[in-house]
């Protein structure tokens, strides 16, 4: 009977835990180069030599010998320091390529960055189609959707025609009004749902009141659910 040898999976390392070895030590085994690369990366980052760290980081990613869990977080710091304009793309790529068990974590970091950059519409577009799936159906994402819609509503409100603000005159074909009422509807809906979980959240309470006041003032019967 012919025995079939099982192919061993390559050993992978955690950049946060790989032992620090002196680069002056002689070559001990096949893994020594990986240890040294990890130590070199730490050293470059401690010295804030981020351009050099970026080159080494890319090679470590290509080697596929380090765990995903901490490696991507190091990349956030390096990309943020060297090419911040690429950070949005990097975070999205990390989320898309992340193992399922890290999907929620990486997605939240990606969305938090978009919100910090005031990219409300992009953040909302990323959350909405995923929110109803089990892995992303979490109150924290509901809260983030409410905040995005609130800020989009405020932006749309600033672009409303004067006649609408003064006497409520509504042109059904005016895209500015359509956009305003759409975001008001979504803000009311998501705020109402999020408030049930985060009833003591001061930021949510403030915008919840703001949206509620707007609805009662406008009396938009076809605009949104009661809040």
- Residue 143, in any domain of the structure: no
pLDDT band at residue 221 using 50, 70 and 90 as cut-offs: very low
C-alpha–C-alpha distance, residues 51 and 219, integer Å: 56
Looking at residue 27, its pLDDT comes to 47
Looking at residue 82, its pLDDT comes to 94
Residue 106 vs residue 61, higher pLDDT: 106
Helices 100-116 and 139-158 pack at an angle, to 10 degrees, of 30
Looking at residue 156, its pLDDT comes to 92
For the residues 45-52, what does the mean pLDDT come to?
92
pLDDT band at residue 217 using 50, 70 and 90 as cut-offs: confident
> Exposure string (b/e) for 159-179, b if CB count within 10 Å is 16 or more?
eeeeebeeeeeeeeeeeebeb
Residue 34 vs residue 90, higher pLDDT: 90
- Residue 192, in any domain of the structure: no
For the residues 181-206, what does the mean pLDDT come to?
91
- Residue 175, in any domain of the structure: no
- Residue 202, in any domain of the structure: no
For the residues 204-217, what does the mean pLDDT come to?
87
- Residue 34, in any domain of the structure: yes
- Residue 207, in any domain of the structure: no
Q: What pLDDT digit, counting tens, does each position of 16-47 carry?
A: 554 443 445 444 454 566 677 778 888 888 89
Length of the chain measured in residues: 227
Range of the domain at 70: 11-81
Residue 15 has pLDDT above 80, yes or no: no
Percent of the chain's residues with pLDDT above 90:
45
**Number of domains forming the structure of the chain:** 1
Find the range with the poorest average confidence among 41-45, 66-70, 75-79, 125-129: 66-70
Helices 139-158 and 175-197 pack at an angle, to 10 degrees, of 150
- Residue 69, in any domain of the structure: yes
Question: How many Cα atoms sit within 13 Å of 84 on the Cβ side?
Answer: 4
Contacts of 29 (CB under 8 A, 6+ apart): none
Whole-model pTM: value is: 0.78
């Amino acid at each position: 009977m012919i025995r079939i040898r099982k192919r061993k999976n390559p050993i992978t390392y955690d950049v946060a835990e790989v032992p620090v070895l002196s680069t002056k030590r002689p070559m001990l085994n096949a893994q020594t180069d990986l240890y040294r690369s990890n130590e070199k990366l730490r050293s470059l980052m401690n010295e804030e030599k981020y351009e050099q760290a970026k080159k080494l980081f890319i090679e470590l990613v290509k080697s596929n010998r380090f765990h995903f869990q901490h490696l991507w977080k190091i990349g956030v710091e390096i990309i943020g320091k060297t090419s911040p304009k690429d950070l949005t793309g990097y975070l999205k790529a990390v989320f898309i390529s992340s193992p399922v068990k890290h999907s929620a974590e990486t997605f939240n970091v990606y969305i938090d960055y978009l919100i910090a950059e005031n990219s409300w519409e992009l953040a909302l577009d990323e959350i909405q189609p995923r929110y109803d799936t089990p892995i992303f159906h979490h109150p924290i994402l509901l809260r983030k959707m409410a905040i995005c819609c609130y800020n989009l509503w405020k932006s749309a409100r600033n672009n409303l025609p004067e006649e609408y603000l003064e006497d409520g005159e509504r042109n059904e074909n005016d895209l500015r009004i359509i956009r305003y009422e759409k975001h008001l509807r979504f803000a009311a809906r998501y705020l109402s749902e999020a408030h049930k979980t985060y009833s003591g959240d001061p930021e949510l309470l403030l915008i919840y009141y703001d949206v509620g006041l707007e609805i009662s003032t406008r009396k938009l019967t076809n605009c949104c659910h009661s809040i």
